Amino acid sequence: MTLPASIRSPRLELPALTVPQYERLIIGDGATVGRELDAIFGDDWLADANWLLILRRRQLAEHPDHQPWLVRPLIRREPGTEPDTIGYVNFHGPPSDEGIAEIGYALLPAWRGRGYAVEAARATLASALGDPRVRTLRASVSPDNERSLRLIAKLGFVRTGEQWDPEDGLELVHDLSREAFMVAHG
Which pLDDT score, from 0 to 100, does residue 53 have? 98
Where the chain has pLDDT below 70, the residues are: 1
Model confidence pTM above 0.85: yes
Measured at the CA of 150, the angle between CA 146 and CA 156, to 5 degrees, comes to 145
CATH number at residue 27: 3.40.630.30
β-pair partners for 170: 164
Examine residue 137 and state whether it is found in any structural domain, yes or no.
yes
Q: What is the tally of structural domains in the chain?
A: 1
Examine residue 117 and state whether it is found in any structural domain, yes or no.
yes
Q: Which helix (H) or strand (E) holds 139?
A: strand 136-141
Examine residue 160 and state whether it is found in any structural domain, yes or no.
yes
99: amino acid identity, one letter: G
Residues 171 and 131: their CA atoms lie apart, in Å, by 26
Residues 103 and 128: their CA atoms lie apart, in Å, by 10
Examine residue 1 and state whether it is found in any structural domain, yes or no.
no
Residues 154 and 148: their CA atoms lie apart, in Å, by 10
For 156, the domain range is: 6-185
> In the chain, helix, strand, coil percent, each to 5?
40, 30, 30
Considering only the C-alpha atoms of the chain, give the largest distance between any 2 of them, rounded to a whole number of Å.
Answer: 44
Which pLDDT score, from 0 to 100, does residue 167 have? 83
Contact 160, 173 (CB under 8 A): yes
β-pair partners for 75: 13, 85
Which pLDDT score, from 0 to 100, does residue 1 have? 65
Which pLDDT score, from 0 to 100, does residue 186 have? 73
Q: How far apart are the first and last CA of the chain?
A: 20
Alpha helices in 95-145 (DSSP H): 116-128
pLDDT digits (tens, 9 = 90+) for 133-184: 999 999 999 999 999 999 999 999 999 999 998 888 999 999 999 999 999 8
